[in-house]
Chains A and B, each alone.
Chain A
Amino acid sequence: MPLNPAEKLSREEIRQLQLERLQTTLNRAYFNVDFYRNRMDTLKLLPEDVSTFEELRRFPFTTRQDLADHYPYGLFAVPLRSIVRLKVTSPALRDRGKPIVVGFTRHDVGMWQSLMVRLYEQLGVTDRDIVQVAFNFALFPGALTFNQAGESLGATLAPSATISATLQLQIMQDFRSTVLATTAAFALHMAETMKKQRLDAGRLHLKLVLVGPDPLPEETRAHLEAAFGVPVYGLYGVSEMVEPGIAGECPEKNGLHWAEEQFLPEIVNPATGEPAPQGQEGELVITTLTAEGYPIVRYRTGDVTVLQESPCPCGRTFARISPVARRTDNRLSVRGIPLYPEQVEELLTSFDDFIEDLRLVIHTRHGVGEQLEVLLTRSQEKEFLQGGRSQYLEALRSHVRRALGLGARIQLVERDRLPKEGLIRKTIFKNTGTLYDQD
């Protein structure tokens, strides 16, 4: 498939385009968003003072907290009448009841959609393909863009979304789906279901599997490729911006091509905020370049990656990021649902003051978080609030499920049975090979 002209720009043309768009983003952020204006006024900065890549480093970072603090419309750069779509990024209980709300103008909707179209095209998906999009649309609102981009490409969408793996596989065979887009966790679940049903991958018509928005570990990729018998590719999106499509793999599988004409990436040392040397690992910081409704300047994603500008054999000149292997914060992912240990701890202690300590046990399978287990210790002498132990645990489970959108196993244990915490606060990972076999 011939490359889109934007994908063949020279490095110099890309830099020029980024500079031009950085200038409009800063001007619009300064004049239309009080948050950015106040920040810049405090530092006695005008948009033109930070208009080169080097000077931009003087601009303060924007954090997840900043986004939550300006709920709902505080960071919008246009009046609501220019907004055509609102998206809420996370379950309502996150960030103490304040979710992050992003707004898209008609331009923004088109921009995100065109990025997703490009990611499909990059992998050779055409109007002849039958695309099966299997996400939980309530938990990942960006999933709709997979559908819209598929339609815009002229591909056929197989009816799908939140149905069981068995039904998904049935549809996949009957409709002759050629592309499956889903989360790594659900893809693994489907692979497991195939094994149980003794369904041979040769009976499917798949050409490729596209996995997101969580990173795709190599271990997971290898397992899925063996199970489905087709290439499996990853993409990247920032969960706070909802949409997928900021970066995605090409068939070379040597990094994710970054949409450089729409987003300016920086890699910084997470501890100092200083730029990381070229080719070195660091935290990814993003500035939107054409977003109108919700411009973001220097957003700290918390994702650790490497940015490479070296040419890719596929001919695309856009720089590539390596798959995100770590985060700078404690964010975990279970079945594609993001959660923070601090948040789970607060959630539980707000329910019961007598919880003394806890551990989160993340059961992983082929590198992907599959199930959350919580081990609790509780003051011995305190009575359970309502009823007995089992009622208490049941109430706690439903409390967690409501807040996180995720079921968890919860157990009360003796203090000395709590495992030692690992690198991430109060969390341990347990590789399990038997999760589905128990079902």
Chain B
Amino acid sequence: MLKVIGLSVKYGSLQVLRRVTFHVAMGEIVALIGANGAGKSTLLRTISGVMRPFEGEIFFRDQLIQGKSVERIVQLGLVQVPEARQLFPNMTVLENLELGGYIYGHKHVAENLPKMFELFPVLAGRKLQKAGTLSGGEQQMLSIARALMTDPRLLILDEPSLGLAPLIVEEIYRTIESLSERGTTILLVEQNAMGALAVANRAYVLETGRIVLSGDARELMEHDDVQRAYLGKDYEHKWER
């Protein structure tokens, strides 16, 4: 579904991504994990069309998408739920959702709204409440629902667990799993490695702009290097025990 080959991105002379190669197949939940500053957000911004790569190729549903506008990429079915929700706080829940489906027209919005309230009952009861007054978890749900209004084929979630209480995080992850069961392909980008690995099928570990590990999510969870990616190298010599 999504294929990224040899992607490099620079901010001026600072190279943030170094020939990153990965893919997400249809129906998968793929996690991309990495510490702060590893280049995760830059990677997402480049895939969504906000930033231009300096080299490499991005294929979405077999089409080359780098260089295409954000709107065009969204229309193809690649939709991102941004970090820190980025809702319109002074608009109601309903208005936020309507804006999510805006590019597809009224009919589409009218059809999709009931599905969203079914998927997120908590939002149904707060249709007319201002988004800014929702709790953090509810805002995250709204943010995901808003992205789903476009019927994405690939949903990209940027740090959905950021700043949320553990119980709420669990609920968000359960939502992600149920979306996947309904057929949405998901790319989950997280600092919270353990949480992301618990829901994902496969994962990639990004470290200072390079992918240093990839594999089955369950297997990576136990991997010593995943720990080291967060805590730093914890040995001097190979023979240390």
Tell me the A residues contacting B by CB distance below 8 Å.
Answer: 16, 19-21, 23-24, 27-28, 31, 46-48, 51-52, 73, 76, 78-82, 106-107, 290, 292
B225: chain A residues at CB < 8 Å are 78, 292
Query: Nearest residue in A to B25 (C-beta to C-beta)?
Result: A13
Contact between A51 and B214, CB atoms less than 8 A apart: no
Known: A28-B212, A81-B224. 15 other contacts (CB 8 A): A16-B3, A16-B21, A19-B6, A27-B210, A28-B213, A31-B212, A46-B18, A47-B210, A48-B8, A51-B6, A73-B238, A78-B225, A80-B240, A80-B241, A81-B235
Query: Nearest residue in A to B23 (C-beta to C-beta)?
Result: A16
Known A-B contacts A19-B5, A48-B19, A51-B6; A78 and B224 likewise in contact (beta carbons under 8 Å): yes
A73: chain B residues at CB < 8 Å are 238-239
Known A-B contacts A46-B18, A48-B18, A81-B241; A24 and B23 likewise in contact (beta carbons under 8 Å): no
A107: chain B residues at CB < 8 Å are 215, 219, 223
Contact between B215 and A290, CB atoms less than 8 A apart: yes
Tell me the B residues contacting A by CB distance below 8 Å.
Answer: 3, 5-6, 8, 18-23, 204, 207, 210-215, 219, 222-225, 235, 237-241
B23: chain A residues at CB < 8 Å are 16, 20
Query: Nearest residue in B to A80 (C-beta to C-beta)?
Result: B239
B214: chain A residues at CB < 8 Å are 20-21, 24
What are 24 inter-chain pairs, A to B, with CB distance below 8 A? A16-B3, A19-B21, A20-B21, A20-B22, A20-B23, A20-B211, A20-B214, A21-B214, A23-B19, A23-B21, A24-B214, A28-B212, A48-B19, A51-B6, A51-B21, A78-B225, A79-B235, A79-B237, A80-B241, A106-B222, A107-B219, A107-B223, A290-B215, A292-B225
Partner of B240, one of A46, A51, A79, A292: A79
CA distance in complex: A48, B21 (Å): 10
A16: chain B residues at CB < 8 Å are 3, 5, 21, 23
CA distance in complex: A19, B19 (Å): 11
Label chain A's interface by main secondary structure: helix
A82: chain B residues at CB < 8 Å are 224
Contact between A23 and B211, CB atoms less than 8 A apart: yes
Query: Nearest residue in B to A290 (C-beta to C-beta)?
Result: B215
CA distance in complex: A21, B225 (Å): 16
B207: chain A residues at CB < 8 Å are 27
CA distance in complex: A371, B179 (Å): 66
CA distance in complex: A31, B224 (Å): 15
A31: chain B residues at CB < 8 Å are 212
CA distance in complex: A14, B68 (Å): 27
Query: Nearest residue in A to B219 (C-beta to C-beta)?
Result: A107
Partner of A76, one of B210, B222, B238: B238
CB distance from A12 to the nearest CB of B (A): 9
CB distance from A47 to the nearest CB of B (A): 7
CB distance from B213 to the nearest CB of A (A): 6
CA distance in complex: A81, B236 (Å): 12
CB distance from A121 to the nearest CB of B (A): 19
Contact between A51 and B238, CB atoms less than 8 A apart: no
Contact between B212 and A27, CB atoms less than 8 A apart: yes
Contact between B213 and A24, CB atoms less than 8 A apart: yes
Query: Nearest residue in A to B222 (C-beta to C-beta)?
Result: A106
CA distance in complex: A28, B226 (Å): 13
CB distance from B45 to the nearest CB of A (A): 20
Query: Nearest residue in A to B235 (C-beta to C-beta)?
Result: A79
Query: Nearest residue in B to A46 (C-beta to C-beta)?
Result: B18
CA distance in complex: A361, B19 (Å): 53
Query: Nearest residue in A to B22 (C-beta to C-beta)?
Result: A20
B240: chain A residues at CB < 8 Å are 79-81
A46: chain B residues at CB < 8 Å are 18
Contact between A52 and B6, CB atoms less than 8 A apart: yes
Partner of B211, one of A27, A52, A79, A80: A27
CA distance in complex: A290, B213 (Å): 9
CB distance from B196 to the nearest CB of A (A): 18
Which 3 residue pairs are nearest across A and B when measured between Cβ atoms? A48-B19, A48-B18, A79-B235
CA distance in complex: A79, B225 (Å): 10
CA distance in complex: A218, B191 (Å): 56
A51: chain B residues at CB < 8 Å are 6, 19, 21
Query: Nearest residue in B to A82 (C-beta to C-beta)?
Result: B224
CB distance from B203 to the nearest CB of A (A): 12
B204: chain A residues at CB < 8 Å are 20
B235: chain A residues at CB < 8 Å are 79, 81
A76: chain B residues at CB < 8 Å are 238
B8: chain A residues at CB < 8 Å are 48
CA distance in complex: A21, B219 (Å): 15
Query: Nearest residue in B to A20 (C-beta to C-beta)?
Result: B21
A20: chain B residues at CB < 8 Å are 21-23, 204, 211, 214
